[in-house]
Amino acid sequence: MGSIATSVITINLLGEIDSVNKAGVDLLGKKSKEITGEHYSYLFAKDKSLCSAIESAELELESFSELNVPLLSKSRNTIVNFSVAPLTDQKGDHLGAVVAIEDITEQSKIKNTFKRYVSKSVVDQLLDDDQKLNLGGEERDVTVLFSDIRGFTAMSEKMTPKEVVRTLNSYFSEMIDIIFKYDGTLDKIVGDELMVVFGAPISRDDDAERAVKTAVGMVEALRKFNEKREKNNKVPINAGIGINKGKVISGNIGSKDQMDYTVIGDTVNLGARLCSFAGPLKIIISQSVKDEIGDLYKTRKLEAIKVKGKRKPVEIFKVLT
């Protein structure tokens, strides 16, 4: 029983701990001899739901379980799943109860960190393989996508505050559905601008392709979105999109009170600059993205642009949709 990852604790009819495996010792942060012989109500004095489940299991001879429960008897923040079942011998005589506790603290942290940014499928992959995740900071090769609504400030001045919020929420809902469809990471929303990352926290061989597919999907969705708005005599929303590929630093960045997973670097800055060059419903990509997508979409080479900090003009292309 010592090699089992889940903590397993057996309790006798007197409510005393009879045995605990190594995982249980590690979880509780005590020596085995300090745990065995203790009454469960003392060991888990702060965990009322767990104590209630143990009592019910022994009285009603039924199993009970709860998910995502804080284990308050621990000094550090610990989130667990627990189950309690009656313990019987081969004759069926009641001997007490067996408690199984699974420490899901790290999984909970991952979910809380990424549930706002990525699709459920990406969260599930991170939970399946936490080696894919490095929140402390690392260099990664990613593709970044920026999308910005053209003329929204002027348009919003003709709208009530409620109309502005309603319009943005409807627009973002449409766009984020497409972003998550292609497993992009929603890095941030700033005003009417979206920043999306492909390649962090999970890298794929087709990151650049998925970024461009996302952009094309966003443009197509926005055209349909605007058709509905125009039928209701509302002003259409026009967004431009810029995409760049290269090295970034990724990780949880911020203060001790507020940390957010993001990416930073020249690659990000150029992606934002490309977005500023994109006209309404247009997609501008860099040479590095063009090299990755090949002939996936037809493109047109545009005049190279001068970018602050770059000695040579930057080659750019328009994706034809």
Handedness of CA 193, 113, 169, 321 (dihedral sign): positive
Domain limit, last residue, from 61, 84, 103? 103
**Angle ∠(132,133,139) on CA atoms, nearest 5:** 95
Residues with Cβ within 8 Å of residue 229, at least 6 apart in sequence = 235, 236, 237
Q: Residue 2: inside a domain, yes or no?
A: no
What are the backbone angles phi and psi of residue 120, rounded to the nearest 5°? -60, -35
Residue 214 token pair: 């996302």
CATH code of residue 38: 3.30.450.20
185, 115 Cβ separation under 8 angstroms = no
- 75 and 155 share one domain: no
Q: Are residues 55 and 127 in the same domain?
A: no
Q: Where are the beta strands (DSSP E) in 73-209?
A: 79-88, 94-103, 138-149, 185-190, 193-198
In a domain, 62, yes or no: yes
Tell me the residue range of the domain where 197 lies: 109-319
Can you say whether the dihedral through the CA atoms of 83, 84, 87, 92 is positive or negative? negative
The answer on 114 and 61 residing in a single domain is no
Alpha-carbon distance of 239 to 229, in angstroms, equals: 15
- The pLDDT assigned to 169 comes to 87
- What tokens were used for 190? 């700033």
Q: How distant, in Å, are the alpha carbons of 26, 189, 208, 211, 288 from that of 284?
A: 54, 20, 13, 12, 12
Both 143 and 253 in one domain: the answer is yes
The CA distances from residue 127 to 26, 27, 48, 201, in Å, are 21, 20, 28, 12
State how far the Cα of 28 lies from the Cα of 18, in Å rounded to an integer: 15
- Helices 120-128 and 105-114 meet at what angle, rounded to 10? 150
The helix or strand, by DSSP H or E, that contains position 104, with its residue range, turns out to be none
Residue type, 317: F
Which of 46, 80, 103 is the last residue in one of the domains?
A: 103
- Count of structural domains within the chain: 2
Same domain, 78 and 183: no
Measured between alpha carbons, how far is 290 from 318 in angstroms, rounded to an integer?
10
Whole-number pLDDT of residue 152: 85
116, 119, 120, 125 alpha-carbon torsion, rounded to 10° = -110
Does residue 212 lie within any of the structural domains? yes
Domain assignment present for residue 1? The answer is: no
Residues 60 and 196 occupy one common structural domain? no
**Could you tell me if residue 223 is left (phi over 0), alpha (psi between -120 and 50 degrees) or otherwise beta?**
alpha
Neighbours of 274 (CB within 10 A): 27
CATH number (domain holding residue 170): 3.30.70.1230
pLDDT at 317: 97
Q: State how far the Cα of 194 lies from the Cα of 42, in Å rounded to an integer.
A: 51
Distance CA 3, CA 181 (A): 40
Asked which of 103, 134, 164 is the last residue of a domain, the reply is 103
Is the residue at 271 inside a domain? yes
**299 lies in the same domain as 181:** yes
In this structure, the answer to whether residues 157 and 142 fall within a common structural domain is yes
Same domain flag for 254 and 113: yes
Question: Minimal CA–CA distance to 216: which of 135, 318, 139?
Answer: 318
pLDDT in 10s for each residue of the chain, 321 residues: 343 478 999 999 999 999 999 999 989 989 999 999 999 999 999 999 999 999 999 888 999 999 888 898 776 678 899 999 999 888 888 999 999 998 887 766 655 555 555 556 555 655 565 555 555 677 899 999 999 999 888 888 888 888 888 889 889 889 989 998 998 988 888 888 999 999 988 889 999 999 999 999 999 999 999 999 999 888 899 999 999 999 998 877 666 566 677 888 999 999 999 999 999 999 999 999 999 999 999 999 999 998 887 888 999 999 998
Same domain, 88 and 139: no
Run of H or E including 28: helix 22-28
User: Based on the domain organization, do 260 and 282 belong to the same domain?
Assistant: yes
Residue 149 belongs to a domain? yes
For residue 309, how many other CB atoms are within 10 A of its CB? 7
Residue 200's pLDDT is what? 84
- Same domain assignment for residues 249 and 234: yes
